[in-house]
């Protein structure tokens, strides 16, 4: 049992959070967050912080952003009741359909918002990094839309694995630069994008893809993704007249989850669950469940929970879903975890694949494997709480995962295995 003092302290932190006191003036979420970046990038972060505070609160900027979200991204995205999953799980299930957003996932909300911000800040070009290519595609599309040239750094290994997304980025006018240093995947791509930004930090805007990085990035990304939860809360209240009992989203860097959760943090009756990638097991290197298995440390500009060995070396991670395969997590999630406002759990590769199949067969929706982790977590929650009213963030569509699904699920389906 938690002692009374700890409970009171958690209450105090939550009250501060709800009052908008995080990030604080040092870019902190309690002990987490901050700005651990090279000296040469401090002025660029400070400029960005001032710009973000100004423009995100500017009515003219908000009007422009909202216009693009509705005319081009396709917002508001639907809130779908899931009658067949509801019946099977003995729950009342709703899906917030970010899979219906332009380019197929929530990432576009952030990409178009930051591209518009970059233009207001007078940037002449945009750099981004991408792992699986989803953020690269969203960035390339957003840059084409606002008329800024876009360079995307991508690990050479990832370019091979994700060839269709490389083609999409190039068709959308982006320059894709293969990264052959380091691990030749996402981490090396981030290093290269930062190097590019350092070389010309005034004319270049670095478009970061999740709620991670040095301050103000976690704040900017949260503000741009919070539209998911604002819409979902209003849609659910209008449709059913009540809040959900539980809210579930998958957590990689944490952008779709913080976007869904934010509008509900003050609703004490709502249980909030974040689902990380449990991979093949709980051993080192077998998963990407950062909040479940990690310890605090510094990665890519912020102090947050991290998968590391006892010497502080970043651990290799594994997940069947590229979008969750990251050893860090956004600092606001670390705070929400530390005060117990959000529960973080994990779902394994196999549980996620089973959830992809169930969602396809029951609801006629092919979810991204990332999103299927949320479905698997929600299913487990429903089994423990009969009759629960549960809102699930469906962060993206699964078309991009066909290669993986062909090698795994499709053979089971074709062999007629249940």
Active site residues: 107, 129, 395
Please report, as residue ranges, which positions from 274 to 313 form the binding site for ligand PLP (by CB under 6 A).
none
Least distance in Å: CB of 219 to ligand PLP? 14
Question: How many angstroms from the chain centroid is the CA of residue 168?
Answer: 21
Closer of 92 and 369 to ligand PLP (Cβ) = 369
Using DSSP, state whether 289 is helix, strand or coil.
coil
β-bridge mates for residue 90, sequence order: none
Closer of 119 and 379 to ligand PLP (Cβ) = 379
Q: Is 368 one of the binding residues for ligand PLP (CB under 6 A)?
A: yes
Per-residue contact string for residues 8-37; x = within reach of ligand PLP by CB under 6 A: ------------------------------
What is the strand order of the sheet 28-29 is part of?
A: 28-29, 32-33, 302-306, 295-299
Q: Which of 77, 103, 134, 235 binds ligand PLP (CB under 6 A)?
A: 134
CA distances to 247, 308, 385, 396 from 93, in Å:
10, 36, 13, 17
State how far the Cα of 378 lies from the Cα of 388, in Å rounded to an integer. 10
Using DSSP, state whether 59 is helix, strand or coil.
helix
Q: Considering only 120-128, 170-178, 187-195, 250-258, which stretch makes contact with ligand PLP by CB under 6 A?
A: 250-258
Q: Is 374 one of the binding residues for ligand PLP (CB under 6 A)?
A: no
Q: Which of 254, 278, 294, 328 binds ligand PLP (CB under 6 A)?
A: 254
Torsion angles phi and psi, residue 13, rounded to 5: -65, -40
Q: Considering only 86-94, 111-119, 309-317, 368-376, which stretch makes contact with ligand PLP by CB under 6 A?
A: 368-376
Question: How many angstroms from the chain centroid is the CA of residue 318?
Answer: 17
Q: Is 327 one of the binding residues for ligand PLP (CB under 6 A)?
A: no
Do 219 and 35 form a contact (C-beta atoms < 8 A)?
Answer: no
Q: Considering only 185-193, 227-235, 300-308, 364-372, which stretch makes contact with ligand PLP by CB under 6 A?
A: 364-372
Per-residue contact string for residues 392-411; x = within reach of ligand PLP by CB under 6 A: ---xx---------------
Under 8 Å CB-to-CB from 390, ≥6 apart: which residues?
Answer: 91, 92, 93, 94, 244, 245, 246, 247, 248, 378, 381, 382
Using DSSP, state whether 168 is helix, strand or coil.
helix
Q: Is 251 one of the binding residues for ligand PLP (CB under 6 A)?
A: yes
Residue 226: DSSP 8-state: T
Q: Which of 77, 109, 235, 371 binds ligand PLP (CB under 6 A)?
A: 371
Least distance in Å: CB of 311 to ligand PLP? 27
Q: Which of 109, 114, 162, 210 binds ligand PLP (CB under 6 A)?
A: 210
Closer of 33 and 323 to ligand PLP (Cβ) = 323
Can you list the positions of beta strands (E) in 280-395?
A: 295-299, 302-306, 342-348, 389-394
State how far the Cα of 48 lies from the Cα of 75, in Å rounded to an integer. 26
Q: Which of 253, 274, 327, 377 binds ligand PLP (CB under 6 A)?
A: 253
Nearest C-alpha neighbor of 389 from the set 231, 239, 247: 247
State how far the Cα of 171 lies from the Cα of 1, in Å rounded to an integer. 56
Q: Is 370 one of the binding residues for ligand PLP (CB under 6 A)?
A: yes
Determine the residue with CB nearest ligand PLP.
396
Q: Is 250 one of the binding residues for ligand PLP (CB under 6 A)?
A: yes
Q: Is 86 one of the binding residues for ligand PLP (CB under 6 A)?
A: no
Q: Is 145 one of the binding residues for ligand PLP (CB under 6 A)?
A: no
What is the strand order of the sheet 204-206 is part of?
A: 175-179, 150-155, 125-130, 204-206
Q: Which of 133, 136, 294, 323 binds ligand PLP (CB under 6 A)?
A: 323
Residue 183: DSSP 8-state: T
Q: Which residues of this chain interact with ligand PLP, rule CB under 6 A? A: 105, 107, 134, 210, 250-257, 323-324, 368, 370-371, 395-396
């Amino acid at each position: 049992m938690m002692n009374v003092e700890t409970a009171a302290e958690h209450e105090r932190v939550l009250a501060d959070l709800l009052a908008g006191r995080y990030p604080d003036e040092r870019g902190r979420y309690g002990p987490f967050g901050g700005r651990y970046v090279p000296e040469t990038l401090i002025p660029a972060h400070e400029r960005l912080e001032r710009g973000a505070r100004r423009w995100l609160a500017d009515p003219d900027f908000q009007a422009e952003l909202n216009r693009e979200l509705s005319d081009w991204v396709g917002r508001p995205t639907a809130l779908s009741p899931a009658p067949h999953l509801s019946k099977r799980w003995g729950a009342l299930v709703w899906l917030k359909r970010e899979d219906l957003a332009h380019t197929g996932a929530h990432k576009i909300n952030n990409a178009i918002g930051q591209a518009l911000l970059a233009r207001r800040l007078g940037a002449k070009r945009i750099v981004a990094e991408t792992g699986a290519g989803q953020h690269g595609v969203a960035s390339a599309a957003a840059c084409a839309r606002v008329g800024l040239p876009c360079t995307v750094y991508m690990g050479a290994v990832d370019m091979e694995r994700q060839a269709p997304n490389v083609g999409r980025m190039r068709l959308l006018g982006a320059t894709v630069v293969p990264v052959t240093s380091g691990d030749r995947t996402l981490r090396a791509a981030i290093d290269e994008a930062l190097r590019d930004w350092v070389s010309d930090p005034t004319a270049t805007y670095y478009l970061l893809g999740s709620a991670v990085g040095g301050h103000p990035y976690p704040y900017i990304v949260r503000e741009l993704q919070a539209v998911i939860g604002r819409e979902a809360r209003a849609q659910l209240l209008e449709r059913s007249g009540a809040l959900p009992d539980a809210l579930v989203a998958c957590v990689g860097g944490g952008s779709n989850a913080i976007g869904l959760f934010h509008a509900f943090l003050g609703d004490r009756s709502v249980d909030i669950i974040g689902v990380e990638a449990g991979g093949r097991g709980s051993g080192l290197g077998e998963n990407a469940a950062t909040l479940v298995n990690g310890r605090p440390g510094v990665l890519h500009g912020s102090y947050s929970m991290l998968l590391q060995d006892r010497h502080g070396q970043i651990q290799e991670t594994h997940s069947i879903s590229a979008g969750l395969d990251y050893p860090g997590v956004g600092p606001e999630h670390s705070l929400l975890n530390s005060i117990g406002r959000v529960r973080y759990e994990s779902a394994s590769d196999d549980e996620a694949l089973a959830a992809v199949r169930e969602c396809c067969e029951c609801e006629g929706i092919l979810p991204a494997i990332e999103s299927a982790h949320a479905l698997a977590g929600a299913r487990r929650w429903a089994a423990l709480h009969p009759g629960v009213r549960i809102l699930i963030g469906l962060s993206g569509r699964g078309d991009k995962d066909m290669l993986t699904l062909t090698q795994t699920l499709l053979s089971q389906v074709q062999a007629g295995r249940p």
